[in-house]
A and B are shown apart, each in its own frame.
Chain A
Amino acid sequence: MEYRFESSARTVVRVTDGTDIRFIPASTNNAEYRLLCEGQPADEAAGLAAISPVTILNPNSEQD
């Protein structure tokens, strides 16, 4: 899974696994963005593994 800011404005994160593509607003009000940034602790009772925060890559326009 790749997480990359869509543009230098860094207002949207493009999430892709090579097939599916989603655009996540870079807002803490967006639950998916919060999960990207903060991750989630494990819940052993529920059998849920911890989710680590991800690294969001710079936009392609800023590479090199």
Chain B
Amino acid sequence: MTDNSVTSVKSPTTITDPGESNRAEHLWGDRLVIRTGRIIAWLFPLLMVAIVIQVIIRKFGFNQAWLDDAQWWMYGIAMLTAFGYSISTESHVRVDIFHQNYSAAKKARIELFALGWLLLPFLILMTDIMTHYAISSWTAGEGSDSPNGLHMLYLLKMALPVLFMLAILAAMSALYRHLIKLTPPAVWKYILAGLPAFIFLAERVVNYVIWWHIRISQPDLSVFSINDEPLFDWALPLGTAIVMAVILAAFLAARRSTTGSLNS
């Protein structure tokens, strides 16, 4: 029974680094998400150590509530980072009975629709509402449930919108990656590929501009009644108009530059 006999059964490589699987295609956005993921992945061994330490010190009668909290803090941050990471590695589960037989172009089109029209609006929504959630936690100075737990819960809650932004970066980068498989890239094509997401984003921006406009111009108005102002009805049409204008401008600029290069 020596170790030689064991290793003589050739060790199959059943595991690979998911971030390296289609590295050649990756853009800087994908790489950034994957690098972040690599760092965050160290939370898993750390979590393991934290759990083991806690089991041990509990045996000796010490109970550290902050260690309990630290466990799900680490878990939460790692999980949400993992969400963005697996967008970049394209490992989200899909039903591929038909998908596997599609042409490369069709696969790219499906990916554009899935990322730009389905996923991205949701990520923007989550970033937006998680930011509000974090702000209200910050203003309330929210702490832990247990008296000697990890206080400053708002720190964790503030990390969540940031991690959703990481997922947005992953999705936007993947959107571009699949767009250039189909056509030569152009700004207007990119915006069209993620049209609902960009309209929603513009609507949110206009919304906040209006909010601060009202807040500054009518300082005596209560913060809670600002949202009832009729001006907010204009956020969506205005946001849509801005996105349309950007598409048109980008389209005209792209056409001018191509005709210009043809003439020269």
Tell me whether A and B are bound partners.
Answer: no
Interface residues of A (CB under 8 A from B): none
Interface residues of B (CB under 8 A from A): none
